[in-house]
Amino acid sequence: MAQLPTHSNEARSLAEAVQQPGTTWLNLSRQDIESFPDSIFLLENLRYLDLSHNRITRLPARIGELQQLTYLVLSYNQLQELPAEIRSLRQLQTIYLDHNPTLDVGVTLERLTSLPNLKVLSLAGDNIKVIPPSLTKLKTLESLELSENPLVALPDNMAEMNNLSVLYINNDAYFNLQTNIQVLSRIPNLTELHIENDEVAKLPDNIQELKQVEYLFLVGNKINELPVTINEMPRLRYLDLRDNDIPVHLQDEYTRTLSPRIILRLNNKHSKQKKR
C-alpha cells in the first residue's frame, strides 16, 4: 500500500490532533480501534486519514462531514459496507478498502460512483469472486487494485473505464490472462498492467492485442518462453519477467532482440543459477 504523504500539519495520535485544530494529516493505524472515533469530526481541515490495521466494522453516517478529505485508508479492518453518506466526500481522490474480507463490494461500489474526483481504489484481498457491474461507473478512476481475490473473469464493460491506466491483478491463481485479454485490450488508456504471482505458464499468442500497454509486470509466474508477438506490442517499453522459468539461452536471445526498445528485467532463478 502506498504511504501517506507527510505534511507539516500532521498528527500521529488523536489527542495530538484535537489539540491542533489545523491538522490535515492523521495516522491512527494499528491502534486497536473498534469504532470510528467521534472526535475526528472536530478536525475540519483533515485531508489525509489512515485507520488501517484496526477492528472497525462500520463507518458512521457523519463521515460525510469530513468535506476536505482527499485520502482515506481503511485497509485491514472488518468493514461490511460504506454508509451512503460517503457520497458527500466530494474531494476524495484515494480510498484503500483492501483486506476487508466481509465487505459488500456491490453496495460499496454503488456508493462510490457519486464521487467526482475518485482516482485510486484498492479492493485487494476482499474475497471478490465476481466484479459487480457498478465498477465501471467509476468513470474518473485511474488506478485499480484487485489483487488477492479469487477472480476468474473481468466484466466485459470494463472498456467503459476510459481513465483507467493502472490495473493490479496479482496473487490470483484463478485469473486466466488468455480468457481475459480481449477485455483488457478494450480498456482504452490502460498503460500499466500487473499480472504477478498468478501461476501464468504461457502468454497468449495474441498478446499484441494489448496495444495500449507500456509497462507489463509478470513477476513470479511460470513462464518459460515468450510468444514472438510480444515484439508486436507497439507501445511496450518495460517488461518485468523476474522469477519465471525462462532458460538462460532464451534470456540472452530476448535481451538481444527486444532491447533497447523494451527494458527487460530477467533476474530470475535461472540467471541466479548461472551466477553460482
**Residue 269's pLDDT is what?**
60
**Residue 8's pLDDT is what?**
55
* Binned average pLDDT, 10 residues per bin, the chain of 276 residues: 56 85 91 95 95 97 97 98 97 98 96 97 97 95 98 94 98 96 97 98 97 98 96 97 96 93 82 47
Total domain count for the chain?
A: 1
Residue 39 within a domain: yes
Residue 1 within a domain: no
Query: Which of these, 182, 184, 224, lies nearest to 200 by C-alpha position?
Result: 224
**Residue 265's pLDDT is what?**
96
Residue 43 within a domain: yes
Nearest 10 degrees: Cα torsion 125, 120, 166, 148: 0
- Cell numbers found for residue 133: 457491474
**Residue 276's pLDDT is what?**
40
Total Cβ atoms within 10 A of residue 255: 13
Residue 117 within a domain: yes
Residue 266 within a domain: no
CATH (domain of 62): 3.80.10.10
Q: Which domain holds residue 119?
A: 10-150
Residue 164 within a domain: no
Residue 109 within a domain: yes
Residue 255 within a domain: no
Grid-cell match 530470475, residue found: 268
CA angle centred on 82, ends 127 and 114, rounded to 5°: 110
CB 230 within 8 A of CB 206: no
Counting beta carbons within 10 angstroms of the beta carbon of residue 260, is it exposed (0 to 12), middle (13 to 18) or buried (19 or more)?
Answer: exposed
**Residue 7's pLDDT is what?**
53
**Residue 37's pLDDT is what?**
94
**Residue 53's pLDDT is what?**
98
